[in-house]
Amino acid sequence: METVRWVFAGQLGETFDDGGRMLLIEARSVLRKYPIHRAKAHLILSAIRHRAAELGDRVEFHQVDTYREVVEGRDDLQVIDPTSYSARRFVRRMGAEVLPSRGFVTTEEEFAEWVAGRKRLVMEDFYRAVRQRTGILMEGDSPRGGQWNYDHDNRQPPPKGHDRLHLPDPWWPEEDDIDAGVRADLDRWQEAGEVHLVGDDGPRRFAATGAEAERALKEFVDYRLADFGPYEDAMLSGDWTMAHSLLSAPMNLGLIDPRHVIDTVAAEHAAGNVPLRSAEGFIRQICGWRDWIWHLYWHLGEDFATANNRLKAHVDLPREFTELDGAAIEANCLSTTIDGVREHGWAHHIPRLMVIGNWALQRGYDPKQLNDWFISMFVDGTPWVMPANVVGMSQHADGGVVATKPYASGGAYINRMSDFCGGCRFDPKKRVGDDACPYTAGYWAFLDRVEPEIRGNNRMAQPLAGLARLSDREEVVEQERHRDTL
């Protein structure tokens, strides 16, 4: 009997297609489960429908309420192992033949070999092993240029006196009839109360086909990659994309293969068109961070996101977050970032980590709620990408498995790395008073609150010594306890 390759929304590109018959299901129940950013719902539906159109006669395409209606009782299904625990259970319950997962640089088998018997789980160790195994940016046994990592040269603040980097705009997709159909469906379902859409409707900004992802990659490499390294951590109020690639969503949809992205960037460097610090910085994001986070999702186990709350953070997410109401937020950095998420369903990694995550950490927001909020509100949000990034790295709810210390910082970091503070009613240097920066004061109040939990962490000894010396500690803590606006 001929098998049919059943593909999910994370498997929409060539990597997951071996040429036979395909099954693609647009199941509306998935969109009904949680509130979802309109741009994300649009992107996923657009990508599925574009793929169905591309595959033509080779695909069985169903637009239904649930997957079960289509797959129950069939014995001809084959799947590439999908990307979440629940999907993996489901395909096995449905009796599908399961092939090993694809779409990452390191396979699950290779990761299992690497991790076996290891006490220390550090991304940098993993990344170096990947480079050695694959030969990416290697010269024999040595890293190209003699260094593994150019972070020291990168991570620069934004250029002074500019509110943009003045790079050409990223490549933007042109919407077509499929997008118009998606938009009309979303309008109808929202009106009927069938979906809870959050965020603005606007032109689609992220690639929805393999060809579009290729265009986005090419223009990134031609016009933006060289500036990626130096400005990867910088933020400017008039430049929501900076020099970032906007490729996470198409990569997570399976539209473009990460190894192809890496090889394209490495070739551009080899041709002398891109400095090593930018090429290496970008490649590390993909075969380092992206793969690391993926493998940790399986390695740390299904209950990692629910079982960990080491800092005892139980505050519910505020309305300003759940409704993406940046206008109601006074802190300029947070207001601008949440507004950007409302508009695009995206922010680069520093606003995610050091503005949103840092705020949530300081204010004690529930890490699982924050995990689910990120999945719902970001175009590239998936169940596998959040636990290590949000519960582990950004909220330190695991007590230090993913990151050795909490990513908490005061307003000084945001002031150095952005132009937000100039337009803010708060002063990043002040911790007490009406204009005290909520990040600066919040940082000390956070340390005061979690001191019992982090006292044993050597890397927190210095900040805790600073807290002990703080002359106005009680005043700061009291002030932040009563802060009732964001």
Q: Which residues bind ligand SF4 (CB under 6 A)?
A: 331-333, 411, 414-415, 420-421, 424, 426, 428, 437-439
Q: Which is nearer to ligand SF4, 221 or 414 (CB)?
A: 414
**How far is 353 from 333, CA to CA, in rounded Å?**
12
394's contact among ligand SF4, ligand FAD, none, with CB below 5 to 8 A by partner kind, is ligand FAD
CA distances from 348 to 168, 354, 367, 394 (A): 18, 10, 20, 14
Backbone angles phi, psi at 143, to 5 degrees: -70, 140
Minimum Å gap between C-beta 432 and ligand SF4 is: 14
x/- string (CB under 6 A) for ligand FAD, residues 202-241?
----------------------------------------
Q: Is 380 in the site for ligand FAD (CB under 6 A)?
A: yes
Contact (Cβ atoms closer than 8 angstroms) between residue 279 and residue 205 = no
Residues 285-304 that bind ligand FAD (CB under 6 A): 285-286, 289-290, 293
Q: Is 246 in the site for ligand FAD (CB under 6 A)?
A: yes
Q: Which is nearer to ligand SF4, 52 or 331 (CB)?
A: 331
8-16, 134-142, 182-190, 244-252 -> range binding ligand FAD (CB under 6 A): 244-252
Q: Which is nearer to ligand SF4, 346 or 420 (CB)?
A: 420
**How far is 96 from 107, CA to CA, in rounded Å?**
21
Q: Is 336 in the site for ligand FAD (CB under 6 A)?
A: no
**How far is 276 from 204, CA to CA, in rounded Å?**
32
Q: Is 385 in the site for ligand FAD (CB under 6 A)?
A: yes
Hey, how many other C-beta atoms are within 10 angstroms of the C-beta on 292? Answer: 25
CA distances from 299 to 150, 251, 295, 462 (A): 28, 21, 6, 32
Provide the sign of the torsion angle of the four alpha carbons 343, 349, 350, 353, taken in this order.
Answer: positive
362's contact among ligand FAD, ligand SF4, none, with CB below 5 to 8 A by partner kind, is none
Q: Which is nearer to ligand SF4, 371 or 409 (CB)?
A: 409
**How far is 11 from 5, CA to CA, in rounded Å?**
11
Contact (Cβ atoms closer than 8 angstroms) between residue 421 and residue 237 = no
Tokens at residue 407, please? 């990513």
**How far is 486 from 308, CA to CA, in rounded Å?**
26
113-121, 194-202, 267-275, 380-388 -> range binding ligand FAD (CB under 6 A): 380-388
Q: Which is nearer to ligand FAD, 360 or 447 (CB)?
A: 360
Minimum Å gap between C-beta 31 and ligand FAD is: 17
DSSP classification of residue 356: I
Minimum Å gap between C-beta 290 and ligand FAD is: 4
Q: Is 251 in the site for ligand FAD (CB under 6 A)?
A: yes
286's contact among ligand SF4, ligand FAD, none, with CB below 5 to 8 A by partner kind, is ligand FAD
**How far is 284 from 266, CA to CA, in rounded Å?**
11
Minimum Å gap between C-beta 214 and ligand FAD is: 15
- Specify the DSSP element, H or E, that contains 91: helix 85-93
Contact (Cβ atoms closer than 8 angstroms) between residue 82 and residue 91 = yes
Binding residues with ligand FAD: total (CB under 6 A) = 26
Residues that bind ligand FAD (CB under 6 A): 244-248, 251-252, 285-286, 289-290, 293, 348-349, 352-353, 357, 374, 378, 380-381, 385, 389-390, 393-394
